[in-house]
Amino acid sequence: MYNIYEAPFLRELCDTTANMYRLGWDERNGGNISYRLKQEEVAPYLDLSRVLRTLPLDFDAGELAGELFLVTGTTKYFKNVAKCPQNNTGILRVAEGGHTVEILWGYEDGSRPTSELPTHLMNHIVRLRADPDHRVVLHCHPANTVAMTFVHELDDRAFTLTLWRMMTECLVVFPEGVGVLPWMVCGNTEIGAASAEKLRDRRVVIWAAHGIFGAGRDMDEAFGLVETVEKAAEIYNLIGTRPILQSITDAELLRLADAFHLVPRAGYLQA
């Protein structure tokens, strides 16, 4: 067996959590990440037949049976992940039947996966239906995006259009738009199901007065989505209540989509 502390997937999670902490997106124990791992990339580092513990799931994750995930731990601080990944993260497998997860590595101080595990797994289910190469779900609390949910209407289309108009890159990075949920209690299957509904045909969902989820084929894609939304929200907040003298028009956004061979979400822009 190779040393798991040198595994590229674990190094990547450590780098990402440290980076997110430094950006101020993950105060205290805020935020969580789940990274779908391929059996062949984990097998050199871990005996996949050795189950350390099993934990119940209160929904049916049967579609993910046999899938492996590297998941940050509940109550754990992103700032501490890199120096002690074995206590702050773990590797789990969704068991046959989809009502339990098997812990294969990590959570060594007796801890457990993130309280947002239902949302993560439900999001993985819908994203995998949309894209078999999907791998990462990432959640955090970036201040500008959260601030925007207090002063902007929480309609998917209106919110998306404002973000698209703040910065040219936005339409290019998320042509399918973002989903927005009103405030809800977090850490349960209800918010998980509501998030998954939004992510069926999008890769970003924003939780009002809480934070954001990004999904992608790799860490860079999920991170890049969050980073781009947060930058656009920052611009929105910098503008504040000052009158906007010029912006990007719908016709210009359509020209942009055309130039990059992208299809903006149907019905959002007026020709």
- Which of 175, 177, 211, 214 binds Zn ion (CB under 5 A)? It is 211
> Binding partner of residue 142 among ligand 2HA, Zn ion, none, CB under 5 to 8 Å per kind?
none
Mark the segment that binds Zn ion (CB under 5 A) among 16-24, 80-88, 211-219, 231-239: 211-219
Give the residue at shortest CB distance from Zn ion: 211
User: Which one is catalytic: 67, 102, 116, 230?
Assistant: 116
The distance of closest approach from Cβ of residue 181 to ligand 2HA in the complex, given in angstroms and rounded to an integer, is: 12
Nearer to ligand 2HA, 195 or 264 (CB): 195
Find, among 103, 80, 68, the residue nearest to 29 by Cα. Answer: 80
> Binding partner of residue 67 among ligand 2HA, Zn ion, none, CB under 5 to 8 Å per kind?
none
Mark the segment that binds Zn ion (CB under 5 A) among 67-75, 103-111, 208-216, 229-237: 208-216
Told to judge if 197 belongs to the known catalytic residues of this protein, a careful annotator would answer no
The distance of closest approach from Cβ of residue 249 to ligand 2HA in the complex, given in angstroms and rounded to an integer, is: 37
Helix ranges (H only) for the chain are: 8-22, 39-42, 78-81, 85-88, 117-130, 143-151, 156-166, 169-173, 189-199, 219-239, 250-259
Nearer to ligand 2HA, 144 or 162 (CB): 144
CA distance 136 to 237: 28
**12 is written with which tokens?**
């990547």
Find, among 181, 183, 187, 188, the residue nearest to 204 by Cα. Answer: 181
Matching residue, tokens 């999001």: 123
Contact residues for ligand 2HA, defined by CB under 6 A: 29-32, 115-116, 139, 186
Find, among 110, 106, 131, the residue nearest to 201 by Cα. Answer: 131
The distance of closest approach from Cβ of residue 50 to ligand 2HA in the complex, given in angstroms and rounded to an integer, is: 28
The distance of closest approach from Cβ of residue 171 to ligand 2HA in the complex, given in angstroms and rounded to an integer, is: 28
CA distance 153 to 45: 48
> Binding partner of residue 224 among ligand 2HA, Zn ion, none, CB under 5 to 8 Å per kind?
none
CA distance 141 to 205: 12
Question: How many CB atoms within 10 Å of residue 27?
Answer: 14
Cβ distance 202 to 178 under 8 Å? yes
> Binding partner of residue 62 among Zn ion, ligand 2HA, none, CB under 5 to 8 Å per kind?
none
The distance of closest approach from Cβ of residue 116 to ligand 2HA in the complex, given in angstroms and rounded to an integer, is: 5
- Give the interface with Zn ion as residue ranges (CB under 5 A): 211
Active site residues: 116
